[in-house]
Amino acid sequence: MRIGLIPSEGVAAVLHGGSREWWDLDVPVDITVYGSTREQERALESGETDIVFMNALSAMILRSQGLPLVALTTFSRVRKDILASPKSDAIRLADLTEVAVSHGTTIEYYTDLLLQLEGVDSRAVRKVEISSMEGRLDALIDGTVGAAMLPSPLAHVAVQRGARILATNLVLDPPPREAYLVAREAWLADHEDEVRAILPNLQRSIDELNADAPTYREAVALAMGEHAANLPEFELTPIPDLAPCPETTHAAFESWLTEHGLLQRPVSYAELVAPIGVGAPT
């Protein structure tokens, strides 16, 4: 089983489980860390990886484009922050004229929601497309863009380098649960038993990290690559239990994607969410 992920607090549970060899259930697991959502998408489309931890919006877009993928369970609640560049004078969201995002992902979705929550017309703020998280971080710090949205803990790396947090998606109610565990339908048909065997161990990993902050930090560092050595202290976001995405959340995502012209056709909840695994609908 080949699992793909991008660096964030949420995927720490995968790396923690792998480091404890919990995947030794006659199911060899190879974990690859990608630098952006786009890299993940290409890996899934090409068959380079079997399962990815993907934001729900990207999963819906790909499904609407004809890629036969399904969401097995929601996985994480990833903190995402809008930050001002050290070279910007912005002190609140109303001061922003531009913000770097990854187009058509939860990065852009939560940017819009947070701007609107502060009474700012999201259409009046220029969106600068930088799909790579590292590229967004670099552009933010060197002042190429005045602001950017980054996931934790990369956002905390940006703060250590002089950026300022202006808003976080954790203020939203209900708290966001936007990351899906996604697989291609054809692959899942041949490997459903293996997936069912892995998921309880993934839940065990989540439980252990939530109960032990030092171990959680170690697992986050595993995901952060070159930034691990300089990762600052920051407040960890509890990882929620595996559970299906609420239908109301799916509807909100679909509405936003439709409004922005990003879906080639509607994608229903029943079509995208597969009845399998921990927390799956029955």
Q: Residue 182 phi/psi, 5° resolution?
A: -120, 140
Domains 2-78+177-272 and 80-171 share a fold: yes
Q: Where would I find the H helices in the chain?
A: 12-19, 37-46, 56-64, 106-117, 133-142, 154-160, 185-211, 213-223, 247-259, 269-272
Q: What's the mean pLDDT in 48-58?
A: 88
Q: What's the mean pLDDT in 119-129?
A: 95
Cα gap 252→235, rounded to integer Å: 28
At 9-45, the pLDDT tens digits run: 778 888 888 777 776 777 778 888 888 888 888 999 8
At 90-123, the pLDDT tens digits run: 999 999 999 999 999 889 999 999 999 999 999 9
Q: What's the mean pLDDT in 250-274?
A: 92
CATH number assigned to the domain covering 80-171? 3.40.190.10
pLDDT at 279 over 70: no
Question: Which residue, chain included where needed, has tokens 């905390």?
Answer: 156
Which residues, 6+ apart, have CB-to-CB distance to 146 below 8 Å? 84, 85, 87, 88, 90, 96, 97, 98, 99
User: What's the predicted TM-score (pTM) here?
Assistant: 0.86
**All structural domains of the chain with their residue ranges:** 2-78+177-272, 80-171
Q: What's the mean pLDDT in 1-5?
A: 88
**pLDDT more than 90, % of the chain:** 40
Query: Which CATH superfamily is 2-78+177-272 part of?
Result: Periplasmic binding protein-like II (3.40.190.10)
Q: What is the DSSP letter of 127?
A: E
Give the pLDDT band (50/70/90) at residue 240: confident
pLDDT value at residue 60: 93
At 70-84, the pLDDT tens digits run: 888 776 677 899 999
Q: Which two tokens stand for residue 31?
A: 């974990």
Which residues, 6+ apart, have CB-to-CB distance to 272 below 8 Å? 59, 60, 63, 70, 71, 250
Which residues, 6+ apart, have CB-to-CB distance to 150 below 8 Å? 80, 81, 83, 133, 136, 137, 140, 158
Q: Where would I find the H helices in 47-142?
A: 56-64, 106-117, 133-142
